[in-house]
Amino acid sequence: MLSSTLLTVAAAAVASAHTVITYPGWRGDNLITNATWPYGMQWIYPCGGIGTTTNRTFWPTRDGTVAFQPGWFQGHATAFIYVNLGFGTDGPDNGPQNMSNPMVPPFQIIGPSKNPYPGSVCLTQIPLPAGANVKPGDNATIQVVELAIHGAALYSCVDITFAEPGDPRIPEVNETNCINSTDIGFADIYTITTKASGRANENDTVTNAAWALGRSGGGLLAHLGWLPVVAGGLWVLL
């Protein structure tokens, strides 16, 4: 009862706000297909065709939240999701030098169908990328990438300014803007090495096997805080 009410509220909010990154905001509406963007603007790396903005939103230096609506377009019954951070403003277009700093392990979403759906995903307590060294007042850009089943990716970004956690300028996170819809499932992504990288070294087989083990072990551990892992690595929320 409660969750269906929330879902309706979320659906209404999303439909009227027309957003993809629903929290903490986005650079702007890039759900555009026209003669300039015949395939759709949102496929353009790194931020779906929208340049760096100056109406930045405040985001905490730890445990931030990102909510997004992955199913605005048709065709996303499943997709891989990446959330990255780009630091600073000394790169192209007065934005970051790169968007190469993952904030969460990539994961798969399992949507209700290939049709557009209004559901949302809300990631909470997001850590900063490994090695990040930011302080309140620093600027950065959060990028959400949705990798479609055919290998092309949709990009959406939001420009942020870091603030001390609890700073009143950080938009409130609550049950209307931070929802994991019941109709969107998550799956863990992991790889199995079927052929190790081949350098002619007698020690490589062992090294690579150990690396692969360490990697999948670390991946699973890293995921535990994020996505409860059950047998098969596949589960549906609620």
Ligand X SMILES: *[C@@H]1O[C@H](CO)[C@@H](O)[C@H](O)[C@H]1NC(C)=O
Taking the complex as a whole, the smallest distance from the CB of residue 216 to ligand X amounts, in Å, to 19
Nearer to ligand X among residue 194 and residue 232 (C-beta) = 232
Antiparallel, parallel or unpaired: β 153-163 and 57-60: parallel
Nearer to ligand X among residue 131 and residue 192 (C-beta) = 131
Report if residue 100 touches ligand X, rule: CB under 6 A.
Answer: yes
CA pseudo-torsion sign 172, 177, 181, 186: negative
Report if residue 70 touches ligand X, rule: CB under 6 A.
Answer: no
Taking the complex as a whole, the smallest distance from the CB of residue 220 to ligand X amounts, in Å, to 14
Nearer to ligand X among residue 88 and residue 127 (C-beta) = 88
Nearer to ligand X among residue 83 and residue 194 (C-beta) = 83
Sequence-ordered list of residues with C-beta below 8 angstroms from that of 203, at least 6 positions apart, any chain: none
Taking the complex as a whole, the smallest distance from the CB of residue 48 to ligand X amounts, in Å, to 11
Taking the complex as a whole, the smallest distance from the CB of residue 58 to ligand X amounts, in Å, to 10
Question: Which residues 191-230 are close enough to bind ligand X by CB under 6 A?
Answer: 201-203, 226-227
Q: Which residues bind ligand X (CB under 6 A)?
A: 25-26, 28-29, 32, 34-37, 53-57, 87-89, 96-98, 100, 122-124, 137, 139, 158, 161, 171-172, 174, 176-178, 180, 186, 201-203, 226-227
